[in-house]
Chain A
């Protein structure tokens, strides 16, 4: 029995510790993170039930003699039970999902719109309403400067193959598909510099297709827009 408990701990504890994701920095990301935590609790419960049941059987029902155990073939009641309870659980998780999705995919009015163009193997950020353009290249990780606390509207396109715009701390990514424009919003709640990377395999230098999101105060952003400073060099070579 001690062995069983040790084995459960061996499996369950790392799972729980591990499961926690780093804190999100956007309102959408926070909604996702909250949903994730609920899922994690449900997962731990289910996993706990399975593991305990399994380990208990392993310990309690080892073969001790040649007697054949009762040859029970099934139980309709149990089948119903373990259909209904998991069904209720997944429907609950689906409801959580729908509500979270509503926040994540909401379309608030935004004053900042950025055209993001993904290409092999970097990014171009065009700020609508100004001539400002940030282009990345082989040794030049482009920075997307955005103001804190307001929804940023992004129009994502691709110049060649399928890429994916991924900001891990925002808990969000969206594919850039040639021939389509994907639009979404991000509302950064914390000033800082956040890593971004292409998340859809796009060829030889896919691993190097990095970018950064620089979240700054509204004043700094306004200055950036007018002077082009505070971000990566503009018009950089491809």
Chain B
């Protein structure tokens, strides 16, 4: 039997399949898995976006009747479900998969095969959720929050709800496994010299996100299991007629649901903390504060869930209100630090940086309106109206999207060796910035004027007509801007590989290796003496260890 350089017998070495579908089906490489996550979630994003456009088309006029009532309910339910569970969580997982091992100097995650399994479970779970559209009763239609008794079998028959429940449970299992994987990776696979407080903030953001997933997703899985049992096996967890409680679902769901929104946004915070220092040519201001802020928000986020339930009249208002107010403080700290990073910097306005700046503006607007609804009396007025829809679209739809696009323009060269067109990118940025504000700002006003959520029709004499029309106009412009981005990606993938290792003057370890990285991530590794290893390499503070020296020798057997 042939042996490798290390004298261990070589089994299957070099014999693995190459090319096409089989390569992607059998890959355990975190970079390929990351790309799988990103492309799958992008496809789901575009589909969910089309659903949103149909919803907005329906709402452009008081009673258009573009879709049937039941169809409309399926559309907004699936839009929310897909955007939150199948896009937002997952595209961040994809970026985390790709970049966390690179940023910590590892060759892969701790459990590469489990990593692959997480992706496939995500894919199959998503297909299961979507397959509801193919059933006789249609897809799930109880809102992405699925409140019983409506979501229970006596009110919504048909397999769509069951497929939704089971599919989301499967995706949840994938997330939990992925979370475990990334946490172990970040703790155990760091290259020597990379202490915890030298980790890039994207990696910190991912770490805290995964810890939150570990605590938040099991309750969701439990809730979904209870709903499934109620629907199919005669359980009565949520059936008040026989001693169950619909409120139980709300508590368990929102115990997951609130940390979930921070799970969605933390990777975005991480991306912004990577992009701004690079394009302002200064280190992130208040690195340790940023880390502590992550943990402060993490802890508080598990104590605020019932602010989604103020209008039930059944929860202890003062505690949840106070905690919800307090959580604004560490979130604000992050914003102040980003601004301070730019202050007295030397700023280049690449597309990535423009998106990061746009992020700050829209996130602050969305975050401020979150403080409004932390107050129960105000919440009594605006909960379940378009005010809340505007609030969460500002933070999740706009801020998250901007951060992801900032990350896309930043990291595309690293992942593919090519640049996205800056010209198209800037046109896209301004189009998108105007479009999203046009779409979602009117919704604040609609909510204040009394328009509830999840309705297909409204009375024409309530003063909601003009604002709805404006919002619909904006939404189609959003579609145009996003198509522009997709075209930018498509075009750029066909260009020749011209991107150097470090096109932007980056700080973290991924910029030390080639664009794209080799299979085993690094041909060489500099000494790590600070939180900015690429910066240190560039300024000559450290040098690369030649082959055969140093703590790690990537040429001799490490893949």
Task: Using known A-B contacts A69-B281, A94-B325, A104-B380, determine if residue A39 contacts B289 with beta carbons closer than 8 Å.
Answer: no
Contact (A172, B286) CB under 8 Å given A54-B360, A61-B280: no
Binds B, one of A111-119, A205-213, A219-227: A205-213
Task: Determine whether the beta carbon of B344 is less than 8 Å from that of A35.
Answer: no
- Given that A161-B149, A178-B246, A207-B457 are contacting pairs, would A86 and B381 also be in contact in the complex, using a CB cutoff of 8 Å? no
Interface residues of A in 41-94 (CB under 8 A from B): 43, 46-47, 50-51, 53-54, 57-58, 61-65, 67-75, 78-79, 82-83, 86-87, 90-91, 93-94
| B313 is an interface residue with CB less than 8 A from chain A | yes
Within 8 A of A (CB), among B109-150: 142-143, 147-150
Residues of chain B lying within 8 A (CB to CB) of residue A18: 441, 444-445, 448
A28 to B448, CA, bound (A): 16
A205 neighbours in B (Cβ, 8 Å):
69
A185 to B520, CA, bound (A): 67
Identity of the chain A residue whose Cβ is nearest the Cβ of B277 in the assembled complex: A71
Complex interface: chain B residues within 8 A of A190 (CB): none
Query: Least Cβ distance of A48 to chain B in Å?
Result: 10
Contact A160 B149 (CB under 8 A): yes
Bound Cα distance A162, B313 (Å): 13
Q: How far is the CB of A75 from chain B (nearest CB, A)?
A: 8
What is the CA–CA distance of A47 and B375 in the complex, to the nearest angstrom?
19
Q: Complex Cα distance A161/B364, Å? A: 36
Is B312 a contact of A177 with CB atoms below 8 Å?
Answer: yes
Task: From known contacts A39-B375, A97-B377, infer whether A50 and B360 are also in contact, taking CB-CB under 8 Å.
Answer: yes
In the complex, the answer to whether B454 meets A98 with C-beta atoms within 8 Å is no
Query: Is A51 in contact with B155, judged by CB distance below 8 angstroms?
Result: no
Asked if A101 meets B377 with Cβ closer than 8 Å, knowing A47-B368, A71-B283, the reply is: yes
Q: In the complex, what distance in Å separates the CA atom of A154 from the CA atom of B433?
A: 45
- Cα A19 to Cα B142 in complex, Å, equals 31
Tally chain B residues at the interface, Cβ within 8 Å: 87
List, in ascending order, chain B residues with CB within 8 A of A175's CB: 311-313
| Docked complex Cα distance between A69 and B345 (Å) | 6
- CB of B458 within 8 A of CB of A69, answer no
Q: A53 vs B337: C-alpha distance in the bound complex, in angstroms?
A: 12
A64 touching B346 in the complex, CB below 8 Å, given contacts A90-B325, A161-B155, A177-B246: yes
Say yes or no: is A100 at the interface (Cβ < 8 Å to chain B): yes
Contact residues of A between 14 and 56, Cβ < 8 Å to B: 14-15, 18-22, 28-29, 31-32, 35-36, 39, 43, 46-47, 50-51, 53-54
Q: Which residue of A lies closest to B69 (CB)?
A: A204
Closest to B461 in A: A195
- Kindly state the separation between the CA atoms of A199 and B384 in the bound complex, as whole angstroms: 6
Q: Is the beta-carbon distance between A168 and B449 smaller than 8 angstroms? A: yes
Q: Are A63 and B329 in contact (CB under 8 A)?
A: no
How far in angstroms is the closest Cβ of chain B from A160?
7
Contact of B457 with A208 in the complex, beta carbons under 8 Å: yes
B333:A195 contact, CB within 8 angstroms:
no
> What chain B residues lie within 8 Å of A195 (beta carbons)?
450, 459, 462
A74 touches B444 (CB 8 A): no
How many positions in chain A have a CB within 8 Å of any CB in the partner chain? 87
Of the candidates A72, A166, A184, A210, the one whose C-beta lies within 8 Å of that of B384 is A166
Given contacts A74-B289, A87-B329, contact A162 B377 (CB under 8 A): no
A203 at the interface (CB under 8 A from B): yes
- Given A93-B375, A104-B377, do A51 and B361 touch, yes or no (CB 8 Å)? yes
Residues of the A chain whose Cβ atoms lie less than 8 Å from the Cβ of B347: 57-58, 61-63
User: DSSP class of B's interface residues: helix, strand, loop or mixed?
Assistant: helix
Q: When the two chains form their complex, are residues B450 and A204 in contact, meaning their CB atoms are under 8 A apart? A: no
For A170-184 the 0/1 string (1 means CB < 8 A from B) is: 011111011110111
Which chain A residue lies CB-closest to B434?
A: A10
Complex CA–CA separation, A63 to B281 (angstroms): 9
Q: Is A202 in the interface zone, CB < 8 Å from B? A: yes
Is B326's beta carbon under 8 Å from chain A? yes
Q: Which residues of chain A are near B311, meaning CB under 8 Å?
A: 164, 173-175
Q: Which residues of A contact B314 (CB under 8 A)?
A: 177, 180, 182
Is the beta-carbon distance between B321 and A94 smaller than 8 angstroms? yes
Bound-state Cα–Cα, A200 to B312, Å: 11
Bound complex: CA A207 to CA B371 (Å): 28
Query: Within the complex, which residue of B289, B346, B376 is in contact with A61, where a contact is CB–CB below 8 Å?
Result: B346
* B380:A171 contact, CB within 8 angstroms: yes
Please state if A79 and B365 are interface contacts (CB–CB under 8 Å): no
Q: Are B285 and A73 in contact, with the CB atoms below 8 A?
A: yes
Does residue B383 face the partner (Cβ distance < 8 Å to A)?
yes
CB-contact partner of A86 in B287, B332, B337, B449, under 8 A: B332
B-side interface residues toward A, CB under 8 Å? 69-70, 73, 142-143, 147-150, 155-156, 240-241, 244-247, 280-283, 285-289, 311-314, 317-318, 321-322, 325-326, 328-329, 332-333, 335-337, 339-340, 342-349, 357, 360-361, 364-365, 368-369, 371-372, 374-378, 380-381, 383-385, 441, 444-445, 448-450, 452-459, 462
Some 16 contacts from A to B, beta carbons below 8 A apart, are A18-B444, A19-B448, A22-B449, A35-B375, A57-B339, A62-B347, A74-B337, A75-B340, A82-B332, A83-B329, A93-B375, A101-B377, A164-B452, A204-B70, A207-B69, A207-B455
Nearest 6 pairs of A and B residues by beta carbon: A168-B450, A179-B240, A207-B455, A171-B381, A201-B454, A90-B325
Besides A36-B381, A198-B452, 18 new A-B residue pairs in contact (Cβ under 8 A), listed by A number: A28-B377, A32-B377, A39-B371, A57-B342, A57-B343, A63-B346, A73-B287, A94-B322, A97-B378, A101-B377, A164-B384, A173-B383, A177-B312, A195-B450, A199-B384, A199-B385, A206-B455, A207-B455
